[in-house]
Structure 1
């Protein structure tokens, strides 16, 4: 009996040891460095959302397991996402074109339980859907030219729009990390219209420059004509003033000469002892005749009656 009892004890010990060896490894569950975990009961399927586990090894028992969520960054790429730009008027939408978007986001560790409760395992689909909506809604407020002339500002606006959209109730329990606005594709029809619009603008500018040049030429011609008229006025005024000065000078010279001649005659008459009026008249008459260029006078003699006798001479 003692021998059988010992065998039974040994068998029981071996069974217990085997159970321990088997159950202990089954009681531990592992989470990698890139995983979060929530404990779920295998029998009932209920999930404990109050405690979130990160990487490590945990003795949760064989009747439980981890529901795992990605702990590192999630990468999302939208290829050729269709958006509309801001319209020039309030009556229609703007131009349609395609953009490439790349972004990364992280799940908030403390809110993994709420994420499981609100979104379950389909959270990525909902997160991506809200991101698309945010981009499209924000794109309507961005003009077409801003996408090419101010990409940094557009990228910042899209990133802020996504963050605000994700934070709206119900929250998605994630945070946006990186955002990149990639290639912008313009449909051929839109590119053709834009090119034609640019060409037309250049034509309009050219015509405007031509008209402005014509106006400038006409204004220049008016200024030249004004200057010519002013020059002609100055010249005529100068000629008139010069003529007046010459006339005055000639008149002055004639007056001076006449005065000098009168003084000289008086001196000559006084020196020649010509004192009577008849003698002065005869002298004046003779001098006048001699000063004429078309008459030669030859005095031959004086008669007893003091009358001057002249003989005509041929004109020179």
Structure 2
């Protein structure tokens, strides 16, 4: 009886120990990966990392001797300050820029095997090297005139340097499509993948141009503005001359029209006067003929005398008298007695 009790006690103790171990070891065998992380399993006792599978968000039962080696799945922010680059006119310009890149899940194994956790400094250094050679086609002035174009050029250079030349998986079926001249994924080698990161954003910041270059640029701009000013002055002078010529033509045309109108008026007046005189003379001749007929004057001397008297009567300063007595009495003016 006592042996059975002892056995039961031993079994109970062992069961309790097993339960306690389970309660301790099982939770310790679960390890989690956050939503902003990638992970490889790593054995604690040996430090060996298994890169066959990339773990994403979730809790996993991987054993008490294992843990996750974590890599960021969110954006890596890289700030570069005072990076010396050279322009097409062989001058040094310093610029600040910022870019953001993401590690590619499908290439995380290659990243780990190649650079391990030192990848950040390597990617940063290669980005700086790429920036130095990306601005050789732009002049110093272009940094003020073509800033957006330069920013896109720098972005494209860093993106290709860190991301490689491989097409994105599934890009053929995406709305954006594949990039120009990218290499199909199935044909890509490890060297074609760049540094296994996608650069998605790039911002060009402050650009430090040497003061002597700025002074020369300002002088050039001033000379250019002076050239524009001189051209405007010449254009204004030419416009004034053309305007004066147009005004002169208009004035000449107006003078010609005025003279033509005056000549036409004089002609019309002369024709009217001649017509009126012809009408008067015609009426006078008919009247005179009627007088000759009514008075039975047929002698030419009498007609001439009568015509002479009529002519004298038309003179304003002439006065007629019949004899001396009428002369003394006073002149008989035309239309008066």
Output the TM-score relative to the length of structure 1. Answer: 0.69
Distance in structure 2 (CA, Å) of the matches to 1:75 and 1:290: 125
Q: In the alignment, is the contact (CA less than 8 A) between 2:40 and 2:50 conserved in 1?
A: no
Deviations 1:226-269 (A, max 9, x none): 11111111122112222222222222222212111111112222
Q: In the alignment, is the contact (CA less than 8 A) between 1:35 and 1:72 conserved in 2?
A: no
Counterpart residue number, 2:131: 135
Counterpart residue number, 1:125: 121
Distance in structure 1 (CA, Å) of the matches to 2:198 and 2:308: 134
Distance in structure 1 (CA, Å) of the matches to 2:73 and 2:278: 124
Q: What are structure 2's unaligned runs of at least 5 residues? A: 1-9, 11-16, 165-190
SS of the residue 1:139 aligns to? coil
Counterpart residue number, 1:260: 283
In the TM superposition, what is the alpha-carbon distance from 1:146 to its structure 2 partner? 6.3
Counterpart residue number, 2:161: 165
1:7-156 to 2 correspondences below 5 Å: 33=34, 34=37, 36-37=39-40, 39=42, 48-52=50-54, 69-85=71-87, 92-93=88-89, 96-141=92-137, 147-148=143-144, 154-156=150-152
Counterpart residue number, 1:284: 307
Q: What are structure 1's unaligned runs of at least 5 residues? A: 1-9, 11-16, 86-91, 302-309
Q: In the alignment, is the contact (CA less than 8 A) between 1:42 and 1:65 conserved in 2?
A: no
Distance in structure 2 (CA, Å) of the matches to 1:277 and 1:35: 148
SS of the residue 2:85 aligns to? strand
Counterpart residue number, 1:300: 323
Distance in structure 1 (CA, Å) of the matches to 2:313 and 2:55: 148
Q: In the alignment, is the contact (CA less than 8 A) between 2:42 and 2:49 conserved in 1?
A: yes
Larger Rg: 1
Give the aligned CA root-mean-square deviation in angstroms. Answer: 4.2
Deviations 1:278-304 (A, max 9, x none): 432332233334444555443339xxx
SS of the residue 2:297 aligns to? coil
Describe the shift of the 1:287–1:65 C-alpha distance in structure 2 as closer, same or farther (beyond 3 A).
closer
Work out which of the residue numbers 241, 254, 274 in structure 2 matches 1:231.
254
Deviations 1:132-171 (A, max 9, x none): 2333444345566665567555544433332222232253
Distance in structure 2 (CA, Å) of the matches to 1:116 and 1:179: 25
